[in-house]
Structures are given as structure tokens and as C-alpha cells.
């Protein structure tokens, strides 16, 4: 029984993500106590930038999860080797470009003024951003193994690497805080950045070597990636990048809007509630991440019944998810009170609004994974572009109406209502068409 569970990539991906989430919550408590509200808010802004850097890959890493199952189905194994080599090479070029771009921007942009940071010099803020961008860029390349694990239907190892990384960081943060409890705020932020960057890189390198050993895959091949195939990959990858950047703006750019409209201090209560409700999201995303390549495989094989069965199982499961998230809304104030030592003022309705957005996002995300998996992205991209264009002005509209930091959640909720109608409808339409080709 235990062996069956441990071999189930969907279950184990969820378990590993749960472990990551618990470790993350404890780390947040540690860092909030150690850095204080203002500097923790600054760290959150920097970490959000990390997410942006990871997405600036023109979608080539996401394309691995869609294209490799197709190439395996077609038994083009030498082309797979060439394709993976090209992915690493292009990723290195992109990482260098991103770092140099941010290096130049640090001389041109006053980040301190943009984010209302009045407790550090502009020079320090720029240096902190550059330091983290450097680590994020090298991890951007080392991070490719996660897509490779999913592409080879071994998604649990991708989530295992994240769990190991988060547990290791928690241990290192505890160790560092114990030895250096009273250094100044600037030194704390730099040290936390170095610990996070170096340890994440080491974990990524270990799991990269483990992937190639596990699959007995070597990249020695004389075949070069066909220019036509590469062009097709870049075209598909660009679509994935548009989706990823759009998702970041809609769900993660709120921190910057809050910092700009109010102050970095106000980022903290929003981030605490947001992180709490990200826990079910993290577990679900991890559990369904292997479905990306499974959807691609079933769609290529025109296995309509398997796809509809997956949709049906999720729809039934969503009822239980609604109950669990509703319970989470009720007990959230109590959890926050024991999670965060200092009293944090949570705006009225923020928990309720965030809970509703979480449910809508879970429902839309499952079906969007199907569209991502089969590479049918035009409808999804159209919805995202509209959402991105509306999100920021709509948030500021509610800010002007006096809704405070709730404004960013209200704007997201309105957009998500559009998503949960259009995206599932598109998925069912595509699957039902498969019978015409059988």
C-alpha cells in the first residue's frame, strides 16, 4: 500500500508540496520576526522579482513539458537530446541578457522612489536587487530539471526538490538567526539573499544530475536541432511566456501595487493572508502538475474518455475543496494569531475575498493545465491579455474608492469570474471534437 502511494506521482507531488508549504510558513514567521515589517515587505518585493526572472525564458522550459511527450510518442530520441541541449544553451544566453539588463536598469531607475522605500538608501536597494537577480539567473538555468521531470512523467521528483530546498532553507535560516541575532537590517537582507541563492543553486544542481542518472539520458548526439523545429518551439514558448508573465502580473504584482499606493509595510498583512491561502493552491498545483504531460499524451492518442474522466473526477473533488477552503476562511484569524507573534491588523473582508479568489483560481487552473498541456493557447492568451490590461487600472480604481489593500483582491475576483466560465467551456469543446477524428 505504501509502495503504491510512494509511486503515485500525483499523490506524492501533493505531499511534497504540503511539506514545502509548512516549511515556508515557518520560514515566513522567522523572517518576519527577524527582519521586521518594513524589511520583510522589501524582501517580499525582491522575491516577487525572482518569480518574474524565472518566467523570462520565452517559455522554452514550459515547452519541454508539452513537446517531449510528443517526441517520445514519435520515438525521436536523438531529437530529444538535441532539444534539451538547445534548451540549456538558450537559457544561458537569456540569463546573461537578463542580468545585464537589470544591471543597466539599476543606474537608470530609482527603485527606492517607485516602491516608497524610505528606510534604505537607493544604492543599497539597487545592490540588493542585483544580488538577488544574479542568484535568480543562475538558478533559472539550473531549474530546468523541474520541467524535465514533468516531461518524463516523473513529476513527484520536481516537487521533492522544492521540498528539500524549502526544508534546507528553514534549517539554514534558523541557524543563521541563532548565531547573528543583532546585526543591522542591511546585513540581514544581504545574508538571507546569499543563503537563499546559494542553497537553491546547490539543490537544483543535485536534482539535475539525479534526473540524468535516473533516466540514463546523456546529451551526446551529433544531431542539431532543426531550425524549423526550433522556430516552432520558440513560437510555442513565447505563448507560454506571455501566459506566465500575465499570471505573475495578475496574482503577484499586487505587492508592488500595494507598496506604490500605500507603503511596503502594508504588503505584510496582504502577504500573510495570501500565503495562507496559497497553501491549498500549492498542494493542488503540485498534485496536478504531472497532468500537464499526461493531458498531452492522452490528447495525442485521442483518448477522449480518459480526458473526460479526469474532468469529471476534478469537478466532484472541487466540492470537497470548497468545503475545506470555507473551513480555512473561518479558522484563518486563529491560525494567523498563533502563526505570527506580533499582532497584525488584517483589513475587514480580506480573508473572505482571498478565499473566494482561491476557489475560483483552483477551478480555472485545473482546466488551464489542459490547454497548456495540449498547446492550444490562443483563447487562454486572449483572456490573459484582457485581464492584464484591466487588472492594474481596476485595482487603482478601487484604491481611489477607499477599499484599501482589499482593492487588489477585488479586481482579481472580478477577472476570475470571467476565467471560470470561458476556460472550462473551451476545454470541453476541444475534447468533444476528438470523436470526429477517431
Full domain range(s) for residue 315: 2-437
Half-sphere exposure of 436 (CA within 13 A, CB side): 5
d(CA 374, CA 301): 11
Q: How far is CA 58 from CA 91, 123, 156, 296, 389, in A?
A: 9, 30, 25, 20, 20
Lowest mean pLDDT among 141-145, 282-286, 317-321: 282-286
d(CA 55, CA 139): 12
Q: Encode pLDDT of 176-230 as tens digits.
A: 989 888 888 888 888 988 998 899 999 999 999 998 888 888 877 777 766 776 6
Q: Encode pLDDT of 127-179 as tens digits.
A: 888 888 888 888 888 888 888 887 787 777 877 888 888 899 899 999 998 98
- The residue with greater pLDDT, 39 or 396, is 396
- Which residues 6+ apart lie within 8 Å of 250 measured at CB? 384, 387, 388, 391, 412, 415
Q: Is 170 exposed, middle or buried (0-12, 13-18, 19+ CB in 10 A)?
A: middle
d(CA 267, CA 264): 5
- What's the mean pLDDT in 47-69? 64
- What's the mean pLDDT in 322-336? 88
Q: Encode pLDDT of 237-265 as tens digits.
A: 677 777 777 877 787 778 778 877 777 77
Q: What pLDDT, on the 0 to 100 scale, is given for residue 207?
A: 92
How many folded domains does the chain comprise? Answer: 1
- What's the mean pLDDT in 392-403? 90
The highest-confidence range among 114-123, 128-137, 242-251, 284-293, by mean pLDDT, is 128-137
Q: What pLDDT, on the 0 to 100 scale, is given for residue 438?
A: 44
- DSSP assigned state of 117: -
* Cβ contact 272:333 at 8 Å: no
Is the pLDDT assigned to residue 282 strictly greater than 80? no
pTM of the complete model beyond 0.75: no
Q: What pLDDT, on the 0 to 100 scale, is given for residue 433?
A: 85
- What's the mean pLDDT in 12-30? 73
Amino acid at each position: 500500500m505504501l509502495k503504491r502511494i510512494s509511486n503515485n506521482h500525483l499523490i506524492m507531488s501533493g505531499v511534497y508540496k504540503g511539506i514545502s508549504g509548512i516549511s515556508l510558513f515557518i520560514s515566513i514567521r522567522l523572517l518576519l520576526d527577524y527582519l521586521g515589517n518594513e524589511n520583510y515587505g522589501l524582501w517580499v518585493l525582491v522575491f516577487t522579482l525572482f518569480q518574474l526572472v524565472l518566467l523570462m525564458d520565452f517559455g522554452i522550459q514550459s515547452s519541454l513539458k508539452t513537446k517531449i511527450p510528443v517526441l517520445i510518442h514519435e520515438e525521436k530520441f536523438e531529437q530529444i537530446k538535441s532539444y534539451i541541449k538547445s534548451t540549456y544553451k538558450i537559457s544561458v544566453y537569456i540569463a546573461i541578457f537578463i542580468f545585464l539588463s537589470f544591471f543597466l536598469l539599476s543606474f537608470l531607475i530609482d527603485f527606492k522612489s517607485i516602491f516608497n522605500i524610505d528606510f534604505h538608501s537607493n544604492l543599497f536597494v539597487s545592490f540588493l536587487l542585483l544580488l538577488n537577480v544574479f542568484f535568480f539567473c543562475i538558478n533559472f538555468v539550473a531549474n530546468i530539471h523541474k520541467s524535465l521531470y514533468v516531461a518524463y512523467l516523473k513529476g513527484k521528483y520536481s516537487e521533492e526538490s522544492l521540498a528539500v530546498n524549502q526544508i534546507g532553507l528553514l534549517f539554514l535560516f534558523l541557524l543563521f538567526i541563532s548565531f547573528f541575532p543583532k546585526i543591522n537590517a542591511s546585513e540581514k537582507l544581504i545574508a538571507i539573499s546569499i543563503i537563499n541563492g546559494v542553497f537553491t543553486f546547490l539543490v537544483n544542481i543535485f536534482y539535475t544530475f539525479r534526473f540524468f542518472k535516473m533516466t540514463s539520458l546523456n546529451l551526446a548526439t551529433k544531431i542539431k536541432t532543426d531550425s524549423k523545429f526550433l522556430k516552432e518551439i520558440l513560437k510555442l514558448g513565447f505563448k507560454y511566456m506571455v501566459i506566465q508573465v500575465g499570471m505573475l502580473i495578475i496574482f503577484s504584482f499586487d505587492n508592488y501595487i500595494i507598496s506604490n499606493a500605500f507603503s511596503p509595510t502594508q504588503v505584510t498583512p496582504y502577504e500573510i493572508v495570501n500565503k495562507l491561502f496559497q497553501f491549498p493552491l500549492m498542494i493542488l498545483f503540485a498534485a496536478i502538475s504531472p497532468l500537464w504531460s499526461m493531458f498531452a499524451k492522452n490528447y495525442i492518442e485521442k483518448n477522449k474518455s480518459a480526458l473526460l474522466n479526469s474532468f469529471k473526477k476534478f469537478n466532484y473533488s472541487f466540492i470537497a475543496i470548497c468545503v475545506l477552503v470555507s473551513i480555512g476562511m473561518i479558522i484563518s484569524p486563529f491560525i494567523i494569531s498563533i502563526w505570527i507573534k506580533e499582532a497584525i491588523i488584517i483589513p475587514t473582508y480580506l480573508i473572505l475575498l482571498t478565499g473566494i479568489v482561491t476557489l475560483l483560481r483552483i477551478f480555472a487552473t485545473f482546466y488551464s493545465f489542459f490547454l497548456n498541456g495540449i498547446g492550444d493557447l490562443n483563447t487562454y492568451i486572449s483572456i490573459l491579455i484582457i485581464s492584464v490590461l484591466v487588472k492594474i487600472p481596476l485595482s487603482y480604481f478601487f484604491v481611489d474608492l477607499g477599499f484599501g489593500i482589499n482593492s487588489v483582491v477585488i479586481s482579481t475576483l472580478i477577472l476570475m469570474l470571467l476565467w471560470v466560465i470561458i476556460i472550462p467551456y473551451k476545454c470541453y469543446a476541444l475534447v468533444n471534437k476528438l470523436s470526429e477524428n477517431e
